[in-house]
């Protein structure tokens, strides 16, 4: 089945220790997004790629970086995680596929990050 995969599902890191979260997709979508979601809050868009074009949200901290080496993979790098960065990180994709809506975002299961 075509899907959005996130690894790992749970990630524990230490305060200040760099961490990388990964996302892959088999939907062949050209747009990939990274969201941060804290408890009982709406997902907050950090940045997205339209093909290889990187689009950063104005209020995304410099601590958060992203890489998209190819269509299928996208990475979220947190250079120096703080306690406030503990959250669920959601990867999503969108794009034209047969039978699918261009606008619908398909979300992965998320990676829950814990910062000790």
Partner 1 sequence: KNQVEQSPQSLIILEGKNCTLQCNYTVSPFSNLRWYKQDTGRGPVSLTIMTFSENTKSNGRYTATLDADTKQSSLHITASQLSDSASYICVVSAGKSTFGDGTTLTVKP
Q: Is 1 in the site for partner 1 (CB under 8 A)?
A: no
> Which residue bears the tokens 């747009």?
31
Which CA distances in Å does 63 have to 16, 36, 56, 78, 92?
10, 13, 12, 6, 20
Q: What is the x/- site pattern for partner 1, positions 45-74, by CB under 8 A? A: x-----------------------------
**Of the two residues 79 and 112, which places its CB atom closer to partner 1 in the complex?**
112
User: Distance between CA atoms of 102 and 47, rounded to whole angstroms?
Assistant: 18
**Paired tokens of 55:** 């689009």
Q: Which is nearer to partner 1, 59 or 103 (CB)?
A: 103
- Residues at the contact surface with partner 1, assessed by CB under 8 A: 4, 6, 40-45, 88, 90, 92, 101, 103-110, 112
């Amino acid at each position: 089945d075509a899907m959005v995969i996130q690894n790992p599902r749970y990630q524990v890191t230490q305060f200040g220790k760099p961490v990388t979260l990964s996302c892959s997709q088999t939907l062949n979508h050209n747009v990939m997004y990274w969201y941060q979601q804290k408890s009982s809050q709406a997902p907050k868009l950090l940045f997205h790629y339209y093909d290889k074009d990187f689009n950063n949200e104005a209020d995304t901290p410099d601590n958060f970086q992203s890489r998209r080496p190819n269509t299928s993979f996208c990475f979220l790098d947190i250079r120096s995680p703080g306690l406030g960065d503990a959250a669920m990180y959601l990867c999503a994709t969108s794009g034209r596929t047969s039978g699918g809506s261009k606008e619908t975002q398909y979300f992965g299961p998320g990676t829950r990050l814990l910062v000790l």
